[in-house]
Chains A and B, each alone.
Chain A
Amino acid sequence: MVRYILKRLGLAIVTIWIVATLTFFLMNMVPGGPFLSEKAVSPKALATLEEKYGLDKPLFEQYITYMKGAVHGDFGDSLKQRGRTVMSIITTKFPVSARVGGLAVLFSFLLGVPLGCISALNRGKAGDNAIIVIATCGIAVPSFVVCTVLMYIFGVRLKWLPTLGLSTWKNYIMPIAALAFYPTAYITRLMRSSMLDVLGQDYMRTARAKGLNQFISLFKHALRNAVLPVVTYLGPLLAYTVTGSFIVEKIFTIPGLGGEFIGSITSRDYTVIMGTTIFLAALMVIMNVIVDIVYKLVDPRIKLK
């Protein structure tokens, strides 16, 4: 077990390093620099700025310097936002995204699992069909459509909910609903198919044959096994909802990491690009490792490689 975890962590570090390297060279490939887009900077000022941030050195040397700093936890200062370190940007922006994303994942789990179970237990009946139709449509709707339609109905027409910012609890409703829409539909489908699979297993028949209470057999035998695929989906989902919420953050103007991300790329804020990339890649990779370990803990049948 310890060996497995160490091996996975080693691989995770390699992945993060590759992503960081790729991003570094890719971002330098883009023509133009962080100081070019600003209004008429004199060549002398430009040279001073570049010297200050070490951008005048050869690319490879910059890379080595950056990596040395990053290993020691120093992601440098932002090139565009004066006087802010990349670390402070991440630590102020990430909690916002994490709160919205985490709540969305929680809701989609709490909603999707029961819906999938109900649907599987009533297979072929009207309830099942209704849930399946809704879930199938739910998967087909892109998040910007959900966002804008929600905004139009509840924000513009009915004026029940505020459309901008995150000042009160009411502000959270629409972004969370928009973010949770797709995962809920997905989890419902996943849960339904895995529940159907489990219900057809021999041990379920045995449980019924020996006269086990239906609720116990359902919760203790079926649910515990059927929820496993959903658990594996939760890890990537959690990482994705935090990183993939660009659109939701853009539409509802939430000051989160996703918006920072896109913003830093368009303004060529090299250090912020690198910092956020490394941070988000690490988040995703480690989330995957944790899910694999949790998977092993909840399902002893799985052998670790």
Chain B
Amino acid sequence: MRDNPNPLSMQLKLNPDDFLPASDEEKQSLVVMRDSVSFWKDGLRRLGKNKIAMVSLVAVVIIMLFSFVVPSFYPYSYEEQIRGSENMAPMKYSEEEQARIDAGEHIFPHVLGTDKLGRDYAIRVMMGSRISLIVGLVAAVIILIIGSVFGSIAAFFGGWVDLIMMRIVDIIYTVPDILLIVLLSFALKAPLESLSQMPGFGWIQVVGRNLISIFIVFALLYWVGMARMVRSQILMLKESEYVTAARALGASNGRIIKKHLLTNCIGTLIVTTTLQIPSSIFTESFLSFLGLGVAVPMPSLGSLASDAINGLNTYPYLLFIPAILISLIILSFNLLGDGLRDAFDPKMKN
């Protein structure tokens, strides 16, 4: 093709070089600079940058190690009463123990002293925080399951179903919960006792009757917050086009809820579940403090604090240790939950 000297020519001025296949170098410039980041990677990256959340995560891990791992090789057991070493201050030995140490024996110190029955307080505190953590975690899982199923069904079907289901939630929400908890834990005692005698239900004895009635109470009363949260999310999500598309392709209601709706509010679910843990621990310690929690000799942080009140004047550390620990557990779960929220669900920030 020759050059056209006339600038006003209407002829197409094409350069054949423009139509050559692109070289590799040119192709490189079109590649997106960063790999696409998955939801989890993105969230975890943001979580990792959040110093407060990481510190509280470390605190949670340390507390878990001390309550689940350390007791298994700790030289004392939580119900073992050591004669002659009642009411000892931290790191002190009784005369008997001192005599054995002088004889060359090695005796593990009572790091946090002993209580009035001569039980090592450190192991009792560890077992107590184990109970608190178990209650918190199990209750959170129960609440997650019931709340998300209930909330998603109400939101998805709407209309009358929603109205009735949400009225139930409203009613449970307004019930004075403490009263029902107290009543329920009383009422459940006898049925659980007889159930544990039956074959196949022996595990009730292992877990502890009171602990199970606490779980049942949580399962009956505390899922309403989660249900409301999930419902409001799904009400928004169900208008999305991918739901219409899924329905057009013939997906069943259950599949849409499971595969599309609940997976899309996973951020909310994680955050609400994590923030549920401290509030369950709160309630458990409250119940134990009133004497309605776990059965003796099993300790819980609430009952340890409650027992320590009578000796407050002489042995204040018996109160302060469980009190500080329970506050620390709740605080670190709260902060971790806040961090998770910022990382996985930035919309919820306010």
**A, B in one complex:** yes
Q: A interface vs B, CB < 8 Å?
A: 11, 14-15, 18-19, 22-23, 26-27, 29-31, 136-137, 139-145, 148-149, 151-152, 156, 193-194, 196-197, 243-244, 246-247, 250-251, 261-262, 265, 273, 276-277, 280-281, 284-285, 288
**A17→B239 CA distance, assembly (Å):** 37
Closest to A137 in B: B331
Q: Is the CB of B187 within 8 A of A142?
A: no
Q: Is the CB of B305 within 8 A of A144?
A: yes
**A11→B187 CA distance, assembly (Å):** 28
**A84→B184 CA distance, assembly (Å):** 27
Q: Which residues of B, 287-343, contact A by the 8 Å Cβ criterion?
A: 289-290, 302, 305-306, 309, 312-313, 316, 319-320, 323, 326-328, 330-331, 334-335
Q: Is the CB of B312 within 8 A of A148?
A: yes
Q: Is the CB of B290 within 8 A of A145?
A: no
Q: Is the CB of A142 within 8 A of B326?
A: yes
Q: Known: A148-B323, A152-B312. Is A140-B183 also a contact (CB below 8 A)?
A: no
Is there a chain A Cβ closer than 8 Å to B167's Cβ?
A: yes
Is there a chain A Cβ closer than 8 Å to B278's Cβ?
A: yes
**A145→B289 CA distance, assembly (Å):** 10
**A196→B350 CA distance, assembly (Å):** 9
A–B complex contacts, Cβ < 8 Å, 12 sampled: A11-B167, A26-B183, A137-B327, A137-B331, A140-B327, A142-B330, A145-B323, A246-B290, A262-B182, A265-B182, A281-B176, A288-B174
Closest to A155 in B: B312
Q: Is the CB of B312 within 8 A of A22?
A: no
Q: Is the CB of A139 within 8 A of B334?
A: yes
In the complex, what residues of A have CB within 8 A of residue B62's CB? none
Contact partner, B305, options A19, A30, A145, A276, Cβ 8 Å: A145
Q: How far is the CB of B186 from chain A (nearest CB, A)?
A: 5
The 7 tightest CB contacts between A and B, nearest first, are A140-B331, A140-B330, A145-B323, A29-B187, A141-B327, A31-B190, A30-B187
Q: How far is the CB of B237 from chain A (nearest CB, A)?
A: 22
Q: Is the CB of A145 within 8 A of B175?
A: no
Q: How far is the CB of A241 from chain B (nearest CB, A)?
A: 12
Q: Is the CB of A280 within 8 A of B331?
A: no
Q: How far is the CB of A288 from chain B (nearest CB, A)?
A: 6
Q: How far is the CB of B161 from chain A (nearest CB, A)?
A: 17
In the complex, what residues of B have CB within 8 A of residue A276's CB? 179
**A22→B186 CA distance, assembly (Å):** 14
In the complex, what residues of A have CB within 8 A of residue B334's CB? 136, 139-140
Is there a chain A Cβ closer than 8 Å to B111's Cβ?
A: no
Q: Is the CB of B174 within 8 A of A247?
A: no
In the complex, what residues of A have CB within 8 A of residue B330's CB? 139-142
Interface of B is mostly: helix
In the complex, what residues of A have CB within 8 A of residue B65's CB? none
Interface centre among B184, B189, B285, B327 (most CB of A within 10 A): B327
Q: How far is the CB of B136 from chain A (nearest CB, A)?
A: 13
Q: Is the CB of B175 within 8 A of A246?
A: no
Q: Is the CB of A136 within 8 A of B309?
A: no
Q: Is the CB of A148 within 8 A of B305?
A: yes
Is there a chain A Cβ closer than 8 Å to B99's Cβ?
A: no
Q: Is the CB of A284 within 8 A of B302?
A: no
Closest to B281 in A: A142
Q: Is the CB of B350 within 8 A of A284?
A: no
Q: How far is the CB of B101 from chain A (nearest CB, A)?
A: 33
Q: Is the CB of B176 within 8 A of A284?
A: yes
Q: Is the CB of A144 within 8 A of B176?
A: no
**A243→B189 CA distance, assembly (Å):** 24
Q: How far is the CB of A284 from chain B (nearest CB, A)?
A: 6
**A141→B326 CA distance, assembly (Å):** 8
In the complex, what residues of A have CB within 8 A of residue B178's CB? 243-244, 246
Q: Known: A26-B187, A144-B289. Is A193-B282 also a contact (CB below 8 A)?
A: no
Q: Is the CB of A26 within 8 A of B184?
A: yes
In the complex, what residues of A have CB within 8 A of residue B306's CB? 144
Q: Is the CB of B313 within 8 A of A247?
A: no
**A224→B319 CA distance, assembly (Å):** 43
Q: Is the CB of B186 within 8 A of A30?
A: yes
Is there a chain A Cβ closer than 8 Å to B286's Cβ?
A: yes
**A273→B278 CA distance, assembly (Å):** 30
In the complex, what residues of A have CB within 8 A of residue B278's CB? 140
Interface centre among A139, A144, A194, A262 (most CB of B within 10 A): A144
Q: Is the CB of A250 within 8 A of B312?
A: no
